[in-house]
Every structure is written in C-alpha cells, then in structure tokens.
C-alpha cells in the first residue's frame, strides 16, 4: 500500500558575497521582511485555526449524548496529511485508523465533521433505516463544478429534484428488458476482439463497456466513442488530490456529447429507425415517465451521466475477473464445467442464470474482493442524529468504507482471498439458499445503500453475469511465463490512482478453450466493421 506522504516546506535565502554594503543590507532587510511576513501568515493561520478549534470544541452536546472517538489533528484543519490519493490505498489507510478508533469514528477537515464506518451493520442502520437523515449529496472538492448540477443521481442532494430524477431513473431501469438485449449482442463482438488481439484484453473490456452503455442509453454503439473520451478525465476530476482541472471545459464537453446523442435519437425516432434505449423511453414518456416530467435537457444529462457511471461500475469488476482467473486458476475448470453443461455450444443467456450458481458466485466474489469504489459513496446528514449514544451533527459527511465492509472477519473468513465457495457451501457464513436465486449481486453493498444505491443494478447484474460468463465460456486464462519458464506474479493490488478503481492491465495469456469455440467466436461477431473502435 502507498506510504503516507509527509509535506515538507523549505525556506532559504542568501546574498552575493560581491554585493555592495548597501545592496547587502537591502537584501538582508528584504529577506528578513519576507521571512517575517511568512511567519506572520503562518502565525495568523495557526491562531485562527486554534480559535476556531476552541469554539467548535466548546460547543455543548445535547444532554445525555457523547462524542464519537475523534482522529487527532490540528484544530479546525484536522489531519489532511498522509491520506493516499487512490481510492484503494485510501480505503486501506482508513482501515488502519479503525483499529485504533473503533468501528465508527469522526475526523475534522477545515471545520467539517467526517464520520467513518467500517461495518455493514452500522452502515445499514444509518444509511438504510435512517436514509432520509443521511441522504444529502456530497461532491468531492476535486470534482466540484464538473458534475454538480448535471443530474448525476448519486451526487444530488435530498429534495424534490432528487426524488423526481430518482423516480424517472427507476422507471427506466425497471422496464421488462432493461438491457434491450444489447449486452448479449455485444458479447459476441467482444469475444472476437479478444480472439484477434488477446494482449489488448483490457482495452477490449473498456470498449465493451462503452459500447454496451451507449446502446442502452441511446440505441447506437457509436456514441460509445464519446463516453470513452470523457470517462478517464471524469474519473481523475472526481478523485482526491487530483490536479486542477479544466472543469468548465469538461462539463461543456459532456453537455455537447449528451445533447448530440439525444438529438440523434430524436432524428432516428422521427425517421422510424430508432432502436430501444433509455433516451427513447424518456422522449416517448414510456413506462409512466410522464410522472417524472424531465425536460429534454434534463433527460439528456441524466441518461448521459448515468451511462458514464455504468462504464466504471461494470468495467472495474470485469478487469478484476481477469486478475482472479490468473491468481486462482483452479476455479477455471469448475466454472467451465457449469457453463458447458448448461449452455453447451452457445454463449450464456439471461434465462440461464438460475442454473448458473457457480458463475453468479464468481461474479459476487469478484465484486467483494475488488470494489469499484473502495471508499463508497459519501453522504451528508440533513439533521442531527444519535447512534448508540453518540452524537452525529447535521452537515456531517458520512463514509461507509466498502473495502472494510467487504472484509468483516466474522462474515468473510479469509477475507483477502478470492473464494467463490463462500457463496456456494453451507459451511461458510455467507451461504444462502436456494442456489437458483442465491448468490446474487442485487442489493450488494458495492452498489451503495438505500436511496442513493445504484439505480442501474439490474442492468449491471445482467451485463456482469452474461459478459463474464461469455468470456469464461470461450477462453482459458494463464499468467504469462517469465524468461526462465516461471510464471510472472499477478499484480492484483495494482489499480489506477482514482476514486473509481480499475485493476491495472498485466501480461495475461488468453487462449480459446477449443478449436470449435474459436470458430464460433470468429464467426459470431454481430458487426465486423466496428471491431476496433467503440
């Protein structure tokens, strides 16, 4: 894990040995004044922090309540140093603090109270059972201005606008065929891309996610190119410690892309050539969407931003699946046997899922093992609250650490190991029956809690089950061998340095399981003209 980064400040000054006495005196005076000014600024800053800290500390608690254990730090400023930038590293960093401060504690950052939670029981009590008190939006300062006000449901504050957009998204996401069959169609193209250039498997996964999201959002995979251009900059902009961004430009880029895609759907609808999509449902007010009453602009931004979220929500576990297959290769034969027995000489379909418990266990364990958002989605309290006698103030930012929640020792023995059997065998505490229904990723903590849980969980479930199933049906995975025939280590801990985590690409040998499957994958591509670009 990343080491804590200690900030260091150095001050130096000096003069020329050959300078005149007057110049030397002036230089020394200027240097002294500069140093004095610097010290004065620091002194005033520390004094202000001390005063503010004393004021906040002296605020009396309501009678009978107590404060949560608090992370030590400077008054008002708190302890911002040493926090890693990457979501995965930051989640691990805070896990070490929980060992000292307990399952729920608070910290302060520039006067704002932050509440940190490490287990599912507390998270569900606060974020689910008391969801309305903990439902206000909180946007990371690094991404402020990029997503704010752009109809991204997880970031919206609680209020009339939130419920109006949530209702519209729920209606869209709960149509009879939420994926419009696109995920299964895209699987054929993805298998062909991997067949043609297996070393580029990571790029093929990203392309698959962008194309599928674009087809679901607008009925045309070609809009996926725009999504791929935006998603990386968006991930960086929303990450702690990210450099200053051209936020207005990125926001404008998003609007242009989403409005163009909306107008394309309008034109194809008028021409009678538009295929099913979220945007088409919004424009037609289908499925009771007239109750949401979203304007065309709101619909464009709502559909577009949630298509972006879908890329990360599915792309992260798809990358983690490759890592798991190369790290725990003994599971490949068991997964292959089930897929061959149920699906035979064709790719898995949504209708097969009740008969594929091993596949569902592999997907669920992959989500537990490597979460798309290790720190979870932060929320802000809308009013004062009390938990177990501890006072939680209005305006506090609440973080449910998904990394820790997925590693509770009582619930997940051997938590750092990827073990799908924990969902399939009665000896494990996570086992549930019937296996025709469980395990399932619906309701999984990786997708958030209660009012701000991912509205596209049904779409994500279908895509992850069928795509991972299709890739496993067609291919074997092996760690690439080194120079002396030794298998290279899989860097399972390496991810991108952003708040939305994706496993880094690594050398992986991906080969067809048989000549018959290779012929099927070569001939099953839906649209050969769109093999490379999204």
Residues within the annotated binding site for heme?
Answer: 454
Residue 525 contacts residue 192 (beta carbons within 8 Å)? yes
- d(Cα 229, Cα 234) in Å, to the nearest integer? 9
Please enumerate in sequence order all residues whose Cβ is within 8 A of that of 194, keeping only pairs 6 or more positions apart, or say none. Answer: 201, 204, 471, 474, 475, 510
Which residue pairs from 516-525 have beta carbons closer than 8 angstroms and sit at least 24 positions apart in sequence? Answer: 516/345, 517/473, 517/474, 518/195, 520/345, 520/474, 521/188, 521/191, 521/192, 521/195, 521/474, 522/192, 522/195, 524/188, 524/191, 524/192, 524/347, 525/188, 525/189, 525/192
In three-state form (DSSP H/G/I as H, E/B as E, the rest C), the secondary structure along 145-170 is CCCCCCCCHHHCCCCHHHHHHHHHHH
Residue 423 contacts residue 331 (beta carbons within 8 Å)? no
3-state secondary structure of 101: helix
Phi, psi of 481 (to 5 degrees): -80, 145
Query: Which of 67, 86, 218 is CA-nearest to residue 142?
Result: 86
Rg (C-alpha) for the chain, rounded Å, is: 26
- d(Cα 135, Cα 127) in Å, to the nearest integer? 7
Residue 248 contacts residue 255 (beta carbons within 8 Å)? no
Apex 122 CA angle, 2 and 59, nearest 5: 85
- d(Cα 409, Cα 486) in Å, to the nearest integer? 34
Please give the sequence-ordered ranges of beta strands (E in DSSP) within 111-216, or none if there are none.
Answer: 112-117, 136-137
Query: Which of 367, 321, 338, 332 is CA-nearest to residue 461?
Result: 367
Apex 382 CA angle, 240 and 85, nearest 5: 10
**DSSP characters for 288-316?**
GGGGT---HHHHHHHHHHHHHHHHHHHHH
- d(Cα 238, Cα 156) in Å, to the nearest integer? 15
**DSSP characters for 247-270?**
HHHHHHHHHHHHHHHHHHHHHHHH
Q: Which residues belong to the annotated binding site?
A: 454
Phi, psi of 150 (to 5 degrees): -100, 25
Please enumerate in sequence order all residues whose Cβ is within 8 A of that of 406, keeping only pairs 6 or more positions apart, or say none. Answer: 368, 369, 371, 412, 415, 445, 446
Please enumerate in sequence order all residues whose Cβ is within 8 A of that of 309, keeping only pairs 6 or more positions apart, or say none. Answer: 152, 154, 454, 456
Per the structure block, which two tokens stand in for 473?
């049906």
Burial of 14 per CB tally in 10 Å (0-12, 13-18, 19+) = exposed
């Amino acid at each position: 894990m990343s080491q804590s980064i200690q900030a260091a400040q150095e001050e130096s000054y000096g003069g020329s040995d050959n300078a005149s006495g007057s110049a030397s005196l002036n230089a020394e005076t200027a240097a002294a004044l500069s140093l004095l000014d610097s010290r004065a600024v620091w002194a005033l800053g520390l004094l202000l922090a001390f005063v503010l800290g004393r004021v906040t500390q002296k605020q009396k608690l309501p009678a009978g309540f107590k404060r949560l254990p608090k992370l030590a730090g400077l008054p008002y400023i708190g302890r911002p140093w040493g926090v890693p930038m990457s979501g995965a590293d930051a989640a691990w960093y805070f896990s070490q603090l929980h060992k000292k401060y307990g399952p729920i504690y608070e910290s302060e950052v520039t006067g704002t109270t932050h509440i940190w939670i490490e287990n599912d029981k507390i998270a569900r009590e606060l974020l689910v059972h008391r969801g309305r008190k903990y439902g206000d939006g909180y946007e990371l300062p690094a991404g402020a201005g990029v997503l704010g006000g752009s109809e991204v449901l997880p970031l919206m504050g609680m209020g009339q606008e939130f419920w109006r957009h949530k209702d519209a998204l729920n209606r869209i996401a709960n149509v009879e065929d939420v994926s419009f069959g696109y995920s299964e169609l895209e699987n054929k193209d993805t298998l062909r891309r991997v067949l043609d250039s297996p070393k580029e498997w990571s790029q093929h996964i990203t392309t698959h996610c962008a194309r599928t999201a674009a087809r679901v959002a607008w009925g045309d995979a070609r809009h996926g190119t725009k999504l791929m251009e935006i998603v990386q900059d968006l991930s960086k902009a929303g990450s702690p410690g990210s450099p200053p961004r051209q936020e207005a430009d990125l926001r404008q880029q998003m609007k242009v892309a989403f409005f163009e895609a909306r107008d394309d759907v309008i034109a194809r609808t008028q021409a009678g050539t538009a295929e099913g999509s979220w945007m088409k449902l919004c424009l037609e007010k289908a499925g009771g969407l007239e109750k949401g009453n979203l304007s065309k602009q709101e619909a464009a931004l709502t559909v577009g931003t949630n298509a972006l979220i879908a890329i990360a929500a599915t792309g992260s576990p798809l990358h983690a699946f490759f890592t798991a297959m190369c790290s725990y290769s003994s599971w490949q034969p068991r997964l292959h046997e089930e897929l061959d027995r149920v699906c035979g000489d064709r790719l898995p379909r949504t209708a097969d899922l009740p008969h594929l418990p091993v596949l569902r266990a592999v997907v669920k364990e992959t989500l537990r093992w490597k979460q798309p958002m290790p720190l979870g989605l932060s929320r802000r309290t809308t009013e004062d609250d009390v938990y177990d006698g501890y006072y939680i103030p209005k305006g506090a930012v609440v973080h449910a650490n998904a990394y820790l929640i997925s590693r509770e020792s009582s619930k997940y023995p051997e938590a750092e190991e990827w073990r799908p059997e924990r969902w399939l065998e009665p000896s494990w505490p996570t086992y549930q029956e019937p296996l025709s229904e469980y395990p399932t990723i619906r309701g999984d903590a990786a997708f958030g809690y209660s009012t701000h849980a991912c509205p596209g969980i049904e779409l994500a479930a279908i895509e992850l089950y069928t795509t991972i199933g299709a890739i496993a049906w067609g291919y074997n995975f092996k760690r690439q061998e080194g120079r002396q025939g030794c298998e290279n280590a899989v860097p399972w801990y390496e991810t991108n340095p952003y708040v939305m985590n994706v496993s880094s690409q690594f050398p992986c040998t991906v080969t067809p399981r048989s000549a018959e499957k290779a012929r099927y994958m070569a001939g099953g591509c839906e649209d050969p003209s769109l093999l490379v670009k999204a």
